[in-house]
C-alpha cells in the first residue's frame, strides 16, 4: 500500500514554493462569521476587498449577505466591477483628471460612492457625475484618532457635506469613520454632532460607515453606524491572532515555503523573503508564524531569503522541508502574487487569480 502524498508535497510539486494557499472551508467560515457579527449588531456588512483582491471571493461575500464592497483604489473597483460586483465604496480621496474620468466611466456601470476629506478633492469630483449622467455619491471621511485621512472636527464634516450637496454632479451620501480599535467616546460625540449638523442643513446621511477587523469585536459600542467595513477577517493573520480576533484555525491563508539552507546549527533560510512575506512586521516579534515550528523565529528578511533563528527550537526543520507560514499581515502578502492556490482540507481545488493585485492607481 502506498501512503497518500501529503498536501505540502503536492503543492510543492505542482506549484512550487513559495506559494500562497487558501483553505476555502476556512474562508467560507470566516465570511459567515463576519456576516453574522454585522447582522447581530444590526449593521450592513461591506467587506473590504483589499485583503483578497479576488472577484469570486467578493461574490461569495455578497452571496452571504454583504450589502456591497469597499475598495481603496479606482483600479480595484474597476477590477471588481469587471467581476460582476456592484455597490462599491471607494474609501479614498480621488484626485486628478485621469482618475476622475475613470470614476465617471465606472459610475455608468455600478452604484458608486467615494470618500473625501477636503474641498480640493470635492471640487475635482463633479465631472465624474456629469459625465455619467447621474450623481456621484460622496461620503465625508472623518478622523477620530488615527490621524490618517479624515476631517478632524464635526464642523469641518458638516461644511464639507454642504459643499458636496451644493455641487451639480455630486450627492452627499453620509460619513465614513475608521475609529481606533474599541474607541467610543470621541467617535460617538463626533458622529452625533456631524449628523445633527447636516440635518440642520437639511441633509440626511444614508451611510454612516465604520470599519476595521478588530472593531468587529466592538460592534454596537458606538451608536448610529449603518454599516461596517472589514477586510482582513476573510483570511485573518498573525496580527489578528495577536489582537484576539482569530485563532490559528481561523487563518485561511498560509505561505508554503521551503527550507533551502541550514548553514548553522541554530539558523536556517526559507525561500520566502521580503518579496513574498513583506517587511510589514505589524508590531509583532518576528515576521510570521511557522505552523510546524512555532518556536522558530523569522528574524529578518533579504528579498528572497527568510532568516530563521532556531535557537529556541527542539525540533528543527531540515533542508528541503516544506513549512507553512502564517504571515504577520496578510494583505500586502496577497498583493505580491498573481494567483493563490485554493484547497479544501487536503484536497487541491485549483488556482484563483488575484485580479486586483497591484492595483494601486
Nearer to its own copies (CB atom), residue 40 or residue 155:
155
Please state, in angstroms and rounded to a whole number, the distance separating the CA atoms of residues 259 and 27: 27
Contact by Cβ (8 Å): 160, 139: no
Tell which one of 244, 263, 314, 315 touches its own copies (CB under 8 A).
263
Tell which one of 15, 87, 159, 218 touches its own copies (CB under 8 A).
15
Contact between 316 and its own copies (CB under 8 A)?
no
**Which DSSP helix (H) or strand (E) runs through 89?**
strand 88-93
Q: Considering Cα of 141, then 142, then 145, then 148, what sign does the dihedral take?
A: positive
Contact between 251 and its own copies (CB under 8 A)?
no
- Shortest Å, Cβ 95 to its own copies: 5
Restricted to residues 143-202, the positions that interact with its own copies (CB under 8 A) are: 143, 147-152
Cα atoms in the 13 Å half-sphere on the side-chain side of 60: 19
Restricted to residues 286-315, the positions that interact with its own copies (CB under 8 A) are: 302-305, 307
Query: What is the phi-psi region of residue 332: left when phi exceeds 0, alpha when psi lies from -120 to 50, beta otherwise?
Result: alpha
Site size toward its own copies (CB under 8 A) is: 64
Contact between 350 and its own copies (CB under 8 A)?
no
Q: Using CB under 8 A, which of the segments 21-29, 36-44, 131-139, 336-344 binds its own copies? A: 336-344
Q: Considering Cα of 75, then 79, then 81, then 82, what sign does the dihedral take?
A: positive
Cα atoms in the 13 Å half-sphere on the side-chain side of 38: 28
Please state, in angstroms and rounded to a whole number, the distance separating the CA atoms of residues 61 and 53: 12
- Shortest Å, Cβ 134 to its own copies: 24
- Shortest Å, Cβ 110 to its own copies: 20
Please state, in angstroms and rounded to a whole number, the distance separating the CA atoms of residues 115 and 243: 27
| Distance in Å from the first CA to the final CA of the chain | 54
Crossing angle between the packed helical segments 74-82 and 55-63, to the nearest 10 degrees: 70
Q: Using CB under 8 A, which of the segments 105-113, 114-122, 194-202, 233-241 binds its own copies? A: 114-122
Cα atoms in the 13 Å half-sphere on the side-chain side of 271: 17
- Shortest Å, Cβ 17 to its own copies: 7
Other Cβ atoms within 10 Å of 65 Cβ, number:
15
Q: Using CB under 8 A, which of the segments 24-32, 160-168, 204-212, 330-338 binds its own copies? A: 330-338
Please state, in angstroms and rounded to a whole number, the distance separating the CA atoms of residues 30 and 109: 29
- Shortest Å, Cβ 36 to its own copies: 26
Using the structure block, give the residue that is written with the C-alpha cell 469630483.
Answer: 125
Tell which one of 7, 8, 12, 207 touches its own copies (CB under 8 A).
12
Tell which one of 8, 46, 52, 99 touches its own copies (CB under 8 A).
99
Tell which one of 21, 54, 88, 92 touches its own copies (CB under 8 A).
92
Residue 308 exposed, middle or buried by CB count within 10 Å (0-12, 13-18, 19+): buried
Other Cβ atoms within 10 Å of 70 Cβ, number:
29
Contact between 278 and its own copies (CB under 8 A)?
yes
- Shortest Å, Cβ 220 to its own copies: 25
Contact between 242 and its own copies (CB under 8 A)?
no
What residues line the site for its own copies (CB under 8 A)?
12-19, 50, 72-73, 92-93, 95-99, 117-118, 120-121, 124, 143, 147-152, 258, 260-264, 267, 269, 271-272, 274-276, 278-281, 302-305, 307, 318-320, 331-332, 335-338, 358, 360-361
Amino acid at each position: 500500500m502506498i501512503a497518500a502524498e501529503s498536501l505540502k508535497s503536492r503543492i510543492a510539486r505542482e506549484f512550487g514554493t513559495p506559494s500562497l494557499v487558501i483553505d476555502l472551508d476556512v474562508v467560507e467560515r470566516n465570511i459567515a462569521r463576519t456576516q453574522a457579527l454585522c447582522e447581530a449588531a444590526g449593521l450592513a456588512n461591506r467587506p473590504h476587498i483589499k485583503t483578497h483582491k479576488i472577484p469570486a471571493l467578493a461574490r461569495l461575500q455578497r452571496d452571504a449577505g454583504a450589502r456591497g464592497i469597499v475598495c481603496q483604489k479606482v483600479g480595484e473597483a474597476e477590477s471588481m466591477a469587471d467581476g460582476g460586483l456592484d455597490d462599491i465604496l471607494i474609501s479614498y480621496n480621488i484626485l486628478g483628471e485621469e482618475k476622475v474620468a475613470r470614476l465617471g466611466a465606472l459610475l455608468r456601470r455600478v452604484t458608486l460612492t467615494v470618500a473625501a476629506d477636503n474641498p480640493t478633492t470635492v471640487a475635482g469630483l463633479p465631472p465624474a457625475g456629469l459625465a455619467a449622467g447621474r450623481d456621484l455619491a460622496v461620503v465625508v471621511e472623518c478622523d477620530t484618532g488615527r490621524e490618517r485621512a479624515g476631517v478632524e472636527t464635526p464642523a469641518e464634516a458638516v461644511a464639507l457635506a454642504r459643499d458636496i450637496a451644493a455641487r451639480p454632479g455630486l450627492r452627499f451620501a453620509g460619513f465614513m469613520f475608521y475609529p481606533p480599535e474599541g474607541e467610543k467616546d470621541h467617535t460617538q460625540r463626533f458622529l452625533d454632532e456631524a449628523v445633527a449638523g447636516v440635518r440642520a442643513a437639511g441633509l440626511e446621511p444614508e451611510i454612516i460607515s465604520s470599519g476595521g477587523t478588530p472593531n468587529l469585536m466592538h460592534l454596537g459600542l458606538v451608536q448610529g453606524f449603518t454599516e461596517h467595513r472589514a477586510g482582513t477577517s476573510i483570511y485573518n493573520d498573525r496580527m489578528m491572532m495577536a489582537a484576539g480576533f482569530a485563532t490559528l484555525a481561523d487563518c485561511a491563508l498560509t505561505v508554503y515555503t521551503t527550507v533551502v539552507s541550514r548553514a548553522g546549527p541554530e539558523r536556517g533560510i526559507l525561500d520566502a523573503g521580503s518579496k513574498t512575506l513583506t517587511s510589514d512586521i505589524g508590531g509583532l516579534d518576528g515576521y510570521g508564524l511557522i505552523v510546524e515550528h512555532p518556536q522558530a523565529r523569522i528574524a529578518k528578511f533579504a528579498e528572497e531569503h527568510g532568516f530563521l533563528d532556531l535557537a529556541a527550537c527542539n525540533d528543527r526543520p531540515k533542508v528541503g522541508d516544506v513549512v507553512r507560514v502564517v504571515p504577520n499581515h496578510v494583505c500586502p502578502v496577497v498583493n505580491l502574487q498573481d494567483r493563490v492556490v485554493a484547497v479544501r482540507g487536503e484536497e487541491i481545488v485549483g488556482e484563483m487569480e488575484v485580479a486586483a493585485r497591484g492595483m494601486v492607481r
